[in-house]
Structure 1
């Protein structure tokens, strides 16, 4: 039984005449009669009575037509749903990110994606960079946003693009002697108790202090930039973090640049090279519009995702 058989039966029930039904379907009357007879044989029941008043559904026909209408409606919805899924308008996207990315650029990216793809289910987790990379490689995430390019076993299976540059700043209590200074130097920092994230202390912050990175060994560890800022406000120590930390709105903290300026590893967005999900393609398109730092690398990647290219062309 095919969808056209259901449409033929519904047309015949509507017009109650083989000739008029055939004309509405754009076919000749004999093929319609043949197909209705074949349908009745397949169902095993007479679906229509041929009377002088017209061709009328039997009781079995009425029951069949009710299901036929539902089946055709579901088939139309299935076609619509398939198209929306192919365009990345439905589905799920799992994103892991470090806290500082939620200051910038994720608010613009996620906000725009939510507005343009409201039916996509977003699953968001704040994770440090190593944990996010591991979850991405394990298939537990679709996108990971972290600081620096992923490293280690499996990193070659990921596509990574930069989405934001940053440099190091210090955050102190409004009552701290450094408050109000535009900048402080590394030597001064080395004499202060510090508040940093574990990931930063074990990797990219160590070169800041040159031959004496041991100052980081006694630092207070904080999971994210908001905790770093909060502990600095409590005078626990001088917090160190990315420049985008300045977007934190608190009256009890002050920010100072660190001299000499130290560029932090870029924020990077990573996903699996084998991922051809239309939802991911749509997300990449939004990232492309919102993050100037992605450069030609993401353009090349978008070319591999036709739905994303079409989405970009459309607006």
Structure 2
């Protein structure tokens, strides 16, 4: 039994005449009569009474037609659902990120994606090392600072989504408050507040030849904690320039001289992930992140689900 057999039976029930039903279906009358007869043999029941006044469903036919209408409706919905899934309009996306990405660019990306893909189940999680969770299969997208490291990193595709440089944040009661900038030598004389990954990796070259300055630094989970501890006079906080977006009256931001570029904010996905939802998300990232450049264009061009976008 095929969908066309259901449509034939419904057309015949509606028009109550083989000729009119056939015309509505765009086929000749003999093939319609043949198909209805074949359908009745397959069902094992007479579905229509053929009379001089017209063709009318039997009791068995009426019961069959109720199910036929429902089946065709479900088949239509199935086609719609399949198309939406293929376009990335439904499904699930798990996104992990570091806290500073919530200042920029994730608000624009997530907001636009939610507006354009409201039926996607979007799971959001702040993590200190989102790339590790991506490698473990716990995420579909990871946004962190610098390139992922460790076993399996070669199985990821990573693109930059934002450049940034280092700034300092202090309490408005601190001697640095009111200054437009502060030197690295001055910072080395102060108690510091930094994130764990900054202390262990990319800030070490900043304080050469004495990187032990960072060994006594207070460790904060995210930029909001850095700013909060600075406001408490716990030390001079060091973080990305996008930290200036934190609105507090009790802190002051200073440029760090000479300017120290931080590792790029980067987005990583698995090379083998062909999810249409991921392709849809990457397209939104491309529209919102000017820094992403041709590298994400290349990734989108090669993504199996992104063809034709």
For the criterion TM > 0.5, the same-fold answer is: yes
C-alpha displacement of 1:53: 2.5
In structure 1, how many angstroms separate the alpha carbons of the residues matched to 2:210 and 2:199? 13
Write out per-residue CA displacement over residues 154-188 of structure 1, whole angstroms, 9 at most, x where no aligned residue: 11100000110011111111111111111111121
Which structure 2 residues correspond to residues 42-81 of structure 1 after superposition, within 5 A? 42-81=42-81
Name the CA distance, whole Å, in 1 between partners of 2:247 and 2:60.
Answer: 70
The answer for the alignment partner of 1:21 in structure 2 is 21
* 1:91 to 1:247, Cα distance in 2 relative to 1, 3 A: same
Matches within 5 A, 1:1-315: 1-129=1-129, 132-305=130-303, 308=306, 310-311=308-309
Aligned length in residues = 309
Partner of 2:302: helix, strand, or coil? coil
Q: TM-score, normalised by structure 2?
A: 0.97
Q: What secondary structure does 1:46 align onto?
A: coil
Mind listing any 5+ residue stretches in structure 1 that lack a counterpart?
Answer: none
The CA deviation at 1:224 is: 0.6
Q: What's the TM-score, normalizing by structure 1?
A: 0.95
Inter-partner Cα distance in structure 1 for 2:306 and 2:41:
48
Contact conserved, 2:157 with 2:271, CA < 8 A, in 1?
A: yes
Alpha carbons 1:161, 1:270 under 8 Å: kept? yes
Give a deviation string over 1:109-139, Cα, whole Å, max 9, x none. Answer: 111112222221111111123xx11211122
**Residues 204 and 264, structure 1, Cα contact 8 Å, conserved in 2:** yes
Cα separation, 2, equivalents of 1:265 and 1:309? 31
Q: Residue 89 of structure 1 contacts residue 120 of structure 1 at CA under 8 Å; is this kept in 2? A: yes
Q: Distance in 1 between matches of 2:308 and 2:236?
A: 48
- Does the Cα contact within 8 Å between 2:184 and 2:258 map onto a contact in 1? yes
CA 1:306 to 1:272, structure 2 compared with 1: closer, same or farther past 3 Å? closer
| Distance apart, 1:95 and its partner CA | 0.7
Contact 1:285 1:309 (C-alpha < 8 Å) held by counterparts: no
CA RMSD of aligned residues (A): 1.2
